[in-house]
Structure 1
């Protein structure tokens, strides 16, 4: 007969719940105040680094490519744009609105060198950027 610590599954479950709550809080787009144009939302990102590149995915559901600007300025990558409220939604009663709309901006500090954008694609609601180290 093996002995099992009954508190271990409880703590594992509790930690998983805390991690999930933290992830959801970050995932659902933090709203922040811009000094230039009022409130805007900040999309979540995933960033991976290889020997020669930075791979960045930015969650931008419902944002058209024409509404996104990507700028590398010195050691900062800026992704700015807007997700307008769809015309068919303007006459509807809002039952729930969880996906943000309006202006967005995400700034990422590019530590460790100079980079140039070598790939910029929008697919399945995510903007994929590949930045090559130069």
Structure 2
């Protein structure tokens, strides 16, 4: 139990540090930001990225999508002839329209992360 609590605190500390003191942002995935009557829909192109490798942070009028795209283990022994798909750490910060928002739901499917944000009154 304590191990889980300490691991969670370490993760929160790491995310806080990455959000407020970014060192290297890496590559930036393309995004779409759509407004609905209830809030916002953010769609981030993340082909080949696992959901466990993505974190969302919201604050200061923006949302940050931070994570890593790993080279598949099956590709490791191969000799690279061409590599155009970005790998490694990525970070994308998107300014939000004025107001306060909360993440209602997020799902990674078909290479796209879809984040539903509700505007708070």
The reply to whether TM is greater than 0.5 is yes
Counterpart CA distance in 1 for 2:109 and 2:71 is 20
Paired residues of 1:113 and 1:133 also in contact (CA < 8 A): yes
Aligned residue pairs total 100
The answer to whether 1:36 aligns with 2:23 is yes
Q: Per-residue deviation at 1:64? A: 0.5
If you compute each CA radius of gyration, which structure gives the higher value, 1 or 2?
1
Counterpart CA distance in 1 for 2:40 and 2:46 is 19
Q: Which residues of structure 1 form unaligned runs of 5+?
A: 1-33
User: Could you report, residue by residue, the CA deviation over 1:59-79 in whole angstroms, capped at 9, with x for unpaired residues?
Assistant: 001110110000111311000
Structure 1 residue aligned with 2:92? 106
Q: Per-residue deviation at 1:94? A: 1.1
User: Could you report, residue by residue, the CA deviation over 1:59-104 in whole angstroms, capped at 9, with x for unpaired residues?
Assistant: 0011101100001113110000001112222221112212111000
After TM superposition, the runs of 4+ consecutive aligned structure 1 residues lying more than 2 A away are none
Q: Please, what is the CA RMSD of the aligned residues? A: 1.6
TM-score in terms of structure 2 length: 0.77
TM-score in terms of structure 1 length: 0.70
